[in-house]
């Protein structure tokens, strides 16, 4: 096999690159939560990763506009690029809540959710690596199921955390803060699932 990458295959490489950036961001989120004393500096590092993702997304869109024949529906490439960007943005948004809302401690549930986000992003890398072989890959459907399962588990964790919040006797202002933080963490997992489902749709169409 020659090391020859047809132009249209570049998209799969781009997607792998962005998935790796998302994975890096998710790991930075876990670090962030472990070191809330330095949240402002750590948030800057996370913002840098977000900008890396923005740059890559712009490259995908530019490539898309230069390419006549795409490996699958043009619109789906656009949606995947957009959804990947959403995942990274939401990771940054979740972390930034701690700074914005003046939260200097972390809960066990927020840690659990951030670790689920890491796992989801790890699965996204394999998903994107297998995407090119969508017609034969046996790993691809497993990854989609796994991401859906992680989202469902995350939903249970965040719903339970919110239930406890509204049954505790902590101050109202703390309830408000944590309600918002759990929402962002849950939204991040939702965005991973949305992405996996778009990929599933592309696989179904091209089966």
Q: Which is nearer to a copy of itself, 69 or 207 (CB)?
A: 207
Site stretch for a copy of itself (CB under 8 A), options 15-23, 44-52, 58-66, 122-130: 58-66
Contacts for 144 with CB less than 8 Å, ≥ 6 apart: 127, 196, 197, 199, 200
- Rounded Cα distance between 83 and 193, Å, is 10
Out of 61, 79, 106, 112, point to the residue binding a copy of itself (CB under 8 A).
61
Binders of a copy of itself among residues 169 to 188 (CB under 8 A) are: 172-173, 175-177, 179
Which tokens in the block code for residue 66?
């230069």
Min dist CB 173 to a copy of itself, Å, is 5
Q: Is 205 in the site for a copy of itself (CB under 8 A)?
A: yes
Please name the residue ranges forming H helices in the chain: 10-34, 39-66, 74-100, 108-131, 139-167, 172-205
Q: Is 149 in the site for a copy of itself (CB under 8 A)?
A: no
Q: Is 133 in the site for a copy of itself (CB under 8 A)?
A: no
């Amino acid at each position: 096999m020659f090391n020859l990458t047809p132009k249209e295959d570049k998209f799969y490489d781009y997607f792998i690159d962005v998935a790796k950036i998302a994975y890096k961001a998710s790991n930075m989120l876990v670090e962030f939560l472990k070191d809330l004393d330095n949240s402002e500096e750590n948030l800057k590092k996370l913002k840098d990763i977000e900008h890396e993702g923005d740059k890559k997304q712009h490259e995908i869109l530019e490539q898309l506009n230069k390419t006549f024949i795409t490996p699958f529906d043009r619109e789906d490439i656009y949606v995947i690029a957009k959804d990947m960007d959403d995942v990274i943005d939401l990771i940054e948004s979740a972390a930034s809540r701690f700074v914005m809302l003046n939260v200097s401690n972390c809960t066990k549930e927020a840690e659990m959710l951030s670790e689920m986000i890491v796992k989801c992003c790890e699965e996204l890398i394999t998903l994107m690596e297998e995407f090119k072989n969508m017609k034969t890959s046996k790993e691809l459907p497993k990854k989609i199921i796994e991401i859906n399962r992680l989202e469902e588990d995350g939903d249970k964790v965040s719903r339970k955390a919110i239930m406890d919040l509204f049954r505790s006797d902590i101050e109202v202002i703390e309830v408000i803060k944590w309600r918002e933080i759990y929402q962002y963490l849950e939204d991040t997992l939702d965005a991973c699932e949305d992405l996996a489902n778009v990929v599933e749709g592309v696989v179904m169409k091209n089966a």
